[in-house]
């Protein structure tokens, strides 16, 4: 650490100056990850769909700490908007090195309640967005000399989730499966593809989860507590860094307090 750095900076030299797009980064894990990359000296594209104020607050916090960030709006369920998002990020920063596919959502619906509309909403948000963003980002990452794609999965792929979460569980299983496939497809392009699978992390995703249910989760975790967003950041930074993870691809990093141990 140099004399003009503050303790909040994260010293990962190979990430400094890299351009990182984090989808769904106005709140929750995405916001924490965006700030984490900024603390390494990376240039961060903060993406949002319907929360411009929250996204601008993330950008403002990054800039106040001496970092570089810009907010971009897009509905990642719409392929054309994803293509435009990638184009705008590259036009603004001049390159793209790391894509974090973090945008996602959850709707509870038991099997008898499933509708085609609900299916489309969940799969478009949790799956189509990953496919589209990766599709349009890969040529730019390749042109930048290689880099990394990091997808956000979930502990539910191994735990099975809770009743009514079938679409969410299935969509995150899809994300993990294509992570491994993309790792093979893009290996020779110098692009590593991995995923982070958070456990029960206190984010807006759990805004409708009852206190009783959260307590059940807590008691099922060996560390006897729920996670926070900052505790997910290190896994993303590790996977993005060539210095630390140059031979790591096709892997799922679990961040769940020991709740599930594959």
Report pLDDT digits (tens) over 207-240. 777 888 889 989 999 999 999 999 999 999 999 9
E strand or H helix at 11 = none
Cα 158 to Cα 47: distance, rounded to the nearest angstrom: 28
Closest C-alpha to 245, from 133, 141, 150, 154: 150
- Is 236 noted as a catalytic residue in this protein? no
CB-based contact 22:35 (threshold 8 Å): no
**Residue in 48, 119, 168, 236 annotated catalytic:** 168
pLDDT at residue 3 is higher than 90: no
| pLDDT tens digits along 141-170 | 999 999 999 999 999 999 999 899 999 999
User: How buried is 89 (Cβ within 10 angstroms: 0-12 exposed, 13-18 middle, 19+ buried)?
Assistant: buried
Q: Which fold has domain 13-254?
A: Rossmann fold (3.40.50)
Is the confidence at residue 45, as pLDDT, over 70?
yes
- What per-residue confidence (pLDDT) applies to 7? 45
d(CA 52, CA 55): 5
Q: What is the pLDDT of residue 188?
A: 98
- Rounded to two decimals, the pTM is 0.95
Largest CA distance in the chain: 61
Report whether 189 contacts 137 (CB < 8 A): no
């Amino acid at each position: 650490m140099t004399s003009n750095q503050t303790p909040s900076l994260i010293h990962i030299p190979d990430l400094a100056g890299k351009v990182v797009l984090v989808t769904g980064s106005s709140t929750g894990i995405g916001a924490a990850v965006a700030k984490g990359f900024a603390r390494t000296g990376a240039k961060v594209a903060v993406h949002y769909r319907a929360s411009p104020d929250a996204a601008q607050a993330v950008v403002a916090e990054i800039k106040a700490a001496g970092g570089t960030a810009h907010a971009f709006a897009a509905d990642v369920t719409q392929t054309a908007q994803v293509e435009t998002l990638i184009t705008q990020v590259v036009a603004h920063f001049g390159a793209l090195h790391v894509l974090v596919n973090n945008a996602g959502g959850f709707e509870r619906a038991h099997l008898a309640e499933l509708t085609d509309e609900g299916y489309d909403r969940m799969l478009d948000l949790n799956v189509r967005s990953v496919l589209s963003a990766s599709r349009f980002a890969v040529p730019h990452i390749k042109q930048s000399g290689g880099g990394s794609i990091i997808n956000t999965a979930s502990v539910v792929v191994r735990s099975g989730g809770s009743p009514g979460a079938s679409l969410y569980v299935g969509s995150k299983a899809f994300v993990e499966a294509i992570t491994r496939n993309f790792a093979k497809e893009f290996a020779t392009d110098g692009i590593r593809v991995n995923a982070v699978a958070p456990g029960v992390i206190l984010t807006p995703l759990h805004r409708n989860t009852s206190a009783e249910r959260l307590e059940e989760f807590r008691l099922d975790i060996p560390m006897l507590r729920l996670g926070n967003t900052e505790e997910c950041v290190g896994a993303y930074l590790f996977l993005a860094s060539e210095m630390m993870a140059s031979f790591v691809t096709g892997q799922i990093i679990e961040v769940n307090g020991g709740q599930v141990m594959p």
